[in-house]
Amino acid sequence: MAAANFSYRKVAFCVTAALISCVLNVFFLEKLISAEKNSSNLITASGFLLIAIDGLIFTSKFFTVKPVVPLRHNALLVFIFFLSNLGNNLAFKYHIPMTLHMIFKSGSLMSSLLLGALLLKRKYTITKYVSVVTITIGIILCTYASSEQAPSETAAVTNIKYKEFIIGLSLLLFTLFASSYMGVLQERLAARFGKHPRESLFYNHALPLPFFLFLHKDLAEQISIFNSSEPMEVPLIGVMVPYLWLLLACNAFFQYLCINFVFQLTTECTSLTVTLVITIRKFLSLLISVFYFGNRFTVLHWIGAGCVFGGSAMFTELHNLLLSRKKKD
């Protein structure tokens, strides 16, 4: 009984910590994007660097631990991972609201099913296909609602924003399918070499770091903007730090915690439980984006979001998970 109670406490802690850290990660990301929308490359680079440093110390132990999966087999995965993360944050630069960004990322089940059927030749139930159609309709509704022009804008400004919106939308579509294709590659590697998530996490973030050298001019410009932002006192420490650097540090720190707690959750719970936690996190982040940051969210947005989250719940059969959990309790 004591062991069971300990297990429940550990799971409860992991769920709570994952929800809090992941929601705060998105919260500080939105604050940062709101303050400086052109900071996407610096945000991506800082996240990669922090996780790579952690992996260098605790996973590879300064490269003294030989990787189980040969690095040459990770080359394509690492490159796609880099482009996916870069495009994901770059989309904010092209008038993609945080709300649409969240909803698009929630549509990963759709792209995963399509690639699973095409590349892995998997068969899915009718329920899965219905859920994917529901998710697709939700994304289309939210995209249409987000593309509507503001009444106060002139035709010229609207035309420019619309073109940039299309670029941002293309980036989101690319990252959606790129992330799902990464899942296919990871599954193939796992079938051959076994599952090594910590190792994969480290090398996926460490190996792309030299690619950021190609973005050195943009990064240097962003660093200059961050340095010149208004100083702000760090709570508890009392040190004055430029405001944008403080936001970036909070974003990177909570991203690091989010990834680690979700990883711990995967070792303690079933994949469906993890999916449920991630879905709740996305919904909480959406509510914060709408009500705290005041992002425009029309009735059409809510209908679309309902389709996306409802379709996700149908796809992962969360109702069965909740029923089985209730019976166990």
Q: List the one residue out of 178, 174, 184, 185 whose CA is nearest residue 74.
A: 185
Cβ count near 196 (within 10 Å): 16
CB contact at 8 A, 267 and 6: no
At residue 24, the pLDDT reads 97
Q: Of 26-30, 56-60, 293-297, which gets the smallest average pLDDT? A: 293-297
- Which residues, in sequence order, are bridge partners of residue 241? 232
Q: Is the pLDDT of residue 214 over 90?
A: yes
**Radius of gyration for the alpha carbons in the chain, expressed in angstroms and rounded:** 21
Measured CA to CA, the distance from residue 224 to residue 95 in angstroms comes to 23
Mind listing the pLDDT tens digit for each residue in 216-262? 999 999 999 999 999 999 888 888 999 999 999 999 999 999 999 98
C-alpha 163/C-alpha 174 separation (Å) is: 17
Residue that wins the pLDDT comparison between 108 and 276: 108
Give the count of beta carbons closer than 10 Å to the beta carbon of residue 134: 21
**What is the longest distance spanned by two Cα atoms in the chain?**
69
**For position 2, what pLDDT does the model report?**
44
More confident of the two residues 314 and 33: 33
* Helix then strand then coil, % of the chain, to nearest 5: 80, 0, 20
* C-alpha distances in Å from residue 219, one per residue of 213, 214, 215, 246, 255: 9, 10, 6, 17, 20
For 73-126, the pLDDT digits (tens) are: 989 999 999 999 999 999 998 989 999 999 988 888 888 889 989 988 888 889
Mean pLDDT of the chain: 87
Q: What is the three-class DSSP state of 154?
A: coil
State how far the Cα of 169 lies from the Cα of 165, in Å rounded to an integer: 6
- Tell me the three state secondary structure of residue 242: strand
Task: Give me the percent of the chain exceeding a pLDDT of 90.
Answer: 58
Residue type, 252: A
> Which tokens go with 50?
């922090």
Q: What is the pLDDT of residue 4?
A: 47
CA distances in angstroms from 86 to 7, 46, 80, 181, 290, listed in the order given: 38, 12, 10, 16, 25
Task: Kindly give, in sequence order, each residue whose CB lies less than 8 Å from that of residue 329, ignoring residues fewer than 6 positions away.
Answer: none
The single residue listed with the structure tokens 């106060």 is 152
The phi, psi pair for 231, rounded to 5°, reads: -65, 145
The per-residue b/e assignment along 25-47, b for 16 or more CB within 10 angstroms, e otherwise, is bbbbbbbbbeebeebbbbbbbbb
Count of CB atoms situated within 10 Å of the CB of 60:
18
3-state secondary structure of 241: strand
Rounded Cα distance, 140 and 87, in Å: 20
pLDDT class of 171 with cuts at 50, 70, 90: very high
Q: Which residue reads 């929630």 in tokens? A: 106
